[in-house]
Amino acid sequence: MKSYSYIAQDARGKQTKGIMNAENEQEFLQRAKEKGLYVRDFKEGDSGDGKSIYKFGTKELAFCCRQLSAMLTSGLTLVKAIDILTKEQENEKARAIWQDVYENVQKGESFSSTLEMHEGSFPQFLISMVGAGESSGSLDIIMTRMADHYQKENKLKNSIRSAMIYPIILLVLCIVVVIFLFTFIMPVFIEMFDDKSKMPFLTKVMAAISDFLTKRWYILLIIVVAAFFGFRYAMKIPNFRKKVHRMLIKGPGFGPLITKIYTGRFARTLSSLYSSGIPMVECLERSSAILGNSYIDEKFESVIDEVKQGETLSSAITRTEIFEPMFCSVIYVGEESGALDSILEKTSDYYEEESDAAVQRLVGIVQPVLLIFMGLIIGMVVIGVYPALYGSLEGLEN
């Protein structure tokens, strides 16, 4: 389904902007006509000002779900709750999206189908949960769960960002120090050698690097840019992307830590979906997709097939060798006791705490590696320039 941003006039001649999803241009224009809009201009994929389609972040989703939950619990109708929520939006694009949702729901469309029209803006997980809430008549409860879910997602993202600030600063400092040493310090000491052919091997290597950075730095810049875009392109190739994603969870040191983060997100998502009455097969599809790891997606294809054939979830997940044995045992206990949703909820709380600890340990691994790297570079430069410094001191003494 494609997204179309448009500028149109309503029946009263008032200009309005919005975003609408449709299969093609004909369907988009037909839907606009049904809404009583005369489309003056529209564009596929982009907004009228050339910027990308607005996508709600976890913080915004948590706020919107919390507001809807509070209003629905207090007895307001869904249409009135969405109308109030629309007026509370500070971002113009977000307000346009919610305005379109409001108008469609007011005309009798279901909330979930209206959100699905804006699939690029709202995550599929939220759309599935809203659909389950409408079917069971517990939309207010679902909105509360979604608010808690996205609040925890936002907390995890903020935790990762905060934890990575120092390593990023340290990495930038390493790069600045290396460039400074090779472009300003090394050339000064290289000039101290009267006979450059007699320079030690390490000093010659340092001199060559220094000469490259000072005279041919643009080549290095081209290599870095090409490597960046080359990697981005390679990540679009399924086999390469799968190998990279496999390395993330199987790599030594950081692999088990990332797996804990994945386990926490998977347990929380599966718990929310399953407790809402969504079939287990769809729960597994949504829960694995939210992790954004193609290697896990491939493994879960076999899990889903086995569950369809009557295999227990615990044994099917165990065979993937992705999650740690304790998590698989917890699922087994939940299946045997008939309380899988509540056990998963408690397990997700545990693994979320473990995720926070895993993020801190990941940072703990990165920091010493960067410090050792910077120390090695500085040590090599010192060793490389020492003969020149020693020779110049001897010359002063003589």
pLDDT of residue 137: 82
Mean pLDDT value of segment 15-29:
71
Instruction: Indicate the pTM of the whole model.
Output: 0.69
The token pair that represents 304 in the structure block:
């889903």
Distance CA 382, CA 203 (A): 10
> Which residues contact residue 357 at a Cβ distance below 8 angstroms, ignoring those fewer than 6 apart?
260
Mean pLDDT value of segment 183-196:
74
Per-residue model confidence as pLDDT tens digits over 317-373: 898 888 888 888 988 898 888 888 788 888 888 887 877 777 777 777 777 887 888
Indicate if the pLDDT at residue 51 is higher than 60.
no
Mean pLDDT value of segment 14-26:
69
Closest residue by Cα to residue 344 from 259, 297, 387, 280:
280
Tokens 């969870």 belong to which residue?
249
Q: How far is CA 25 from CA 2, 34, 329, in A?
A: 9, 14, 51
List helix spans (H) across the chain.
25-34, 58-73, 78-88, 92-106, 111-116, 124-136, 139-180, 186-190, 201-215, 217-234, 238-250, 255-275, 280-289, 294-308, 313-318, 325-337, 340-397
User: Phi and psi dihedrals of 11, rounded to 5?
Assistant: -65, -25
User: Crossing angle for the helix pair 78-88 and 92-106, nearest 10 degrees?
Assistant: 170
Distance CA 261, CA 153 (A): 11
